[in-house]
């Protein structure tokens, strides 16, 4: 086990005092009070306490287009460094976000982050196939970890990541931003309070047109095709609607329209998830068309999102009429919630175990498709 960088005990206790009474994850996810989270964080930080330092590991589109800008909106954490293979790119980020160039690391010098008190959290945003290695290295450096979804390329890798963080006594969370979006929190509420009865029939699709060769279709780095990339959002939504995990799946891979491009991974796939109590979800994901929807139905009504999984602009309709929620900075809320977890010691509402469960579902889907659509049970950890 590695030691944490030394900090003043009084400083840490003072910061904890500002947030110890917040239930940011449980209250936010449980009540759907998206506006309350921002208000609570604002109250907690009135004293001007130091924000926790976040280092982004991997500076591709998601980091540059979403995480970096969202870290300008956070209240409990800030961008304090980067890990990148390009020193030039790191220097550009340093100038843009105002952190010192000493807080630029590459993948070979990552271990040096252990001695830097500016960094409390590392957000791993590298290709899926590298997550297990990178999370283990971050944990060994004594830093808390957010790992982008999907958590890894296999449930076995997820288990190793969870074990590494447990051994290092650091927290691990998965980058499930939609857990902090008020539209999807309404789905949680409906599932819990059963306004529409048991949500026993669900359907969803997340697809986009992929035309260029990139790491997302290289199996060693991606683990699979659209199912790993965006189909996981449908899995996540269905598990929220069912308030649990599926017991079995059936799946089939669709014929490829571009077998040259998609020579390593599926181009499109359809699957059915069976949950306890007769609850089902019909789902699909493709790199050959565009779709963005989710629907959950019960005996007394329904809710649907279209678009369903976007960073902004999710639209919600129900059998009782349309619903309107405030547009939020999903990733800012997600990262602030994790910072609160670090400060208060509470568990993340999107922990590594959740990422592991979702990876087990994905593995079952791939096994079913490979075996001609055979009903396949989801293996539990």
Instruction: Please state whether beta strands 52-57 and 104-105 pair in parallel, antiparallel, or not at all (unpaired).
Output: unpaired
Instruction: Please state whether beta strands 248-253 and 268-275 pair in parallel, antiparallel, or not at all (unpaired).
Output: antiparallel
Predicted TM-score (pTM) of this structure? 0.89
The count of residues in the chain is 381
**Is residue 20 predicted with pLDDT exceeding 70?**
no
Do residues 138 and 257 both lie within one domain? Answer: no
Structure confidence at residue 37 (pLDDT): 52
On whether the CB atoms of residues 171 and 144 are closer than 8 A, the answer is yes
pLDDT tens-digit map of 39-54: 446 555 555 678 999 9
**Which whole number is the average pLDDT over 359-374?**
98
Q: Residue 366 is part of a domain; what is its CATH number?
A: 3.30.360.10
Q: In the block, which residue shows the tokens 């540059």?
A: 64
**Is residue 243 predicted with pLDDT exceeding 90?**
yes
Name the nearest CA neighbour of 201 among 123, 281, 289, 269.
281
Structure confidence at residue 13 (pLDDT): 38
Structure confidence at residue 370 (pLDDT): 98
Confidence of residue 380 (pLDDT cuts 50, 70, 90): confident
Do residues 143 and 197 both lie within one domain? Answer: no
pLDDT tens-digit map of 128-179: 999 999 999 999 999 999 999 999 999 999 999 999 999 999 999 999 999 9
With respect to residue 4, please indicate whether it lies within any of the assigned structural domains. Answer: no
pLDDT tens-digit map of 258-292: 999 999 999 999 999 999 999 999 999 999 999 99
* Helix boundaries (H) for 151-271: 155-168, 182-193, 219-222, 226, 232-242
The sign of the CA dihedral 109, 115, 119, 124 is positive
With respect to residue 1, please indicate whether it lies within any of the assigned structural domains. Answer: no
Confidence of residue 98 (pLDDT cuts 50, 70, 90): very high
Q: How many structural domains are present in the chain?
A: 2
With respect to residue 292, please indicate whether it lies within any of the assigned structural domains. Answer: yes
Q: Read out DSSP for 122-144?
A: EEE-S-GGGHHHHHHHHHHTT-E
Structure confidence at residue 275 (pLDDT): 98
Do residues 212 and 304 both lie within one domain? Answer: yes
Do residues 373 and 257 both lie within one domain? Answer: yes
pLDDT tens-digit map of 21-77: 333 333 344 444 344 455 446 555 555 678 999 999 999 999 999 999 999 999 999
For 232, the domain range is: 182-326+358-377
């Amino acid at each position: 086990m590695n030691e944490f960088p030394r900090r003043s005990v009084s400083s840490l206790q003072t910061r904890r005092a500002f947030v110890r009474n917040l239930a940011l994850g449980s209250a936010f996810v449980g009540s759907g009070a998206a506006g309350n989270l921002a208000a609570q964080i604002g109250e907690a930080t009135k004293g001007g306490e130091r924000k926790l330092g976040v280092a982004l590991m991997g500076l591709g589109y998601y980091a540059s287009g979403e995480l970096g800008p969202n870290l300008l909106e956070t209240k409990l954490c800030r961008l304090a460094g980067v890990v990148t293979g390009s020193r030039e790119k790191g220097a550009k980020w340093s100038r843009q976000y105002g952190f010192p160039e000493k807080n630029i690391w590459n993948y070979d010098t990552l271990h040096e982050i252990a001695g830097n008190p500016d960094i409390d959290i590392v957000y791993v945003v590298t290709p899926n196939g590298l997550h297990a290695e990178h999370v283990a290295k971050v944990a060994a450096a004594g830093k808390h970890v957010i790992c982008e979804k999907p958590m890894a390329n296999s449930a076995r890798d997820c288990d190793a990541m969870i074990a590494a963080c447990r051994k290092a006594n650091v927290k691990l969370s998965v980058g499930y931003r939609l857990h902090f979006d008020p539209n999807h929190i309404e789905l949680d509420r409906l599932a819990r309070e059963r306004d529409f009865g048991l949500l026993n029939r669900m359907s969803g699709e997340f697809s986009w047109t992929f035309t260029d060769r990139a790491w997302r279709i290289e199996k060693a780095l991606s683990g699979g095709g659209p199912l790993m990339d965006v189909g996981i959002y449908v899995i996540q939504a269905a598990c929220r609607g069912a308030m649990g995990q599926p017991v079995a799946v059936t799946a089939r891979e669709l014929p490829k329209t571009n077998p040259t491009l998609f020579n390593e991974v599926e181009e499109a796939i359809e699957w059915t998830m069976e949950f306890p109590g007769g609850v089902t979800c019909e789902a699909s994901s493709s790199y050959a068309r565009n779709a963005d929807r989710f629907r959950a139905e019960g005996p007394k009504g329904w809710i649907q999102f279209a678009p369903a999984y976007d960073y902004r602009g999710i639209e919600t309709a129900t059998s009782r009429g349309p619903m309107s929620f405030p547009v939020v900075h999903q990733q800012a809320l997600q990262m602030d919630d994790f910072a609160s977890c670090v400060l208060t010691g509470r568990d993340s509402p999107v922990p590594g175990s959740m990422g592991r469960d979702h990876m087990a579902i994905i593995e079952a889907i791939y096994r079913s498709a490979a075996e001609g659509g055979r009903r396949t049970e989801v293996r539990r950890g």
